[in-house]
Amino acid sequence: MSVVARKAALSVGALGESLAQEEYQKDGFEIIASNVFNHTGKQLGEIDFVAKNESKLVFVEVKTRTEGSDKYGEGAAAVGLAKQRKLLKAVKIFLANHRELNHLQPRIDVCVVILSKLDKQSKSVRIITNAVEDSH
């Protein structure tokens, strides 16, 4: 499938997640899971994707916006306190279920992807490292 066809087939959110994953892969990370959510029946939130390298395990929340669109707020601002709590719970469950990864240093990033209004091409991908931290 061509890049143009792939982009046409993806929703704005899915396209943003794909572009964010590419950015992490350029930085030497391997994507080990996508769209991870809790199966226990409780609403604990979804992790857009999980990436790792030799020393880090990164849980990524992607916020995709079309340029000029502020309907839902600037990407990073959309990760409010309630969303942060859900992410932290989801990360704890993931780590409990994947103890083989506990030697890696975990962090939660927010990746803000801005797409061109006209052709949905990536205008910018900004990674905010350690955007969510557990204060407990």
Return the CATH number at 66.
3.40.1350.10
Cα separation of 100 and 106, whole Å? 13
In which band, very low, low, confident or very high, does the pLDDT at 55 lie, cut at 50, 70 and 90?
very high
Token reading at 52: 């790792």
**What domain range includes position 110?**
3-132
Split into its structural domains, the chain has a count of 1
| pLDDT for residue 60 | 96
**21 vs 36: which has the higher pLDDT:** 21
Cα separation of 1 and 67, whole Å? 26
Residue 97 is inside which H or E element, if any? helix 81-97
In which band, very low, low, confident or very high, does the pLDDT at 3 lie, cut at 50, 70 and 90?
low
The average confidence (pLDDT) of the chain is 83
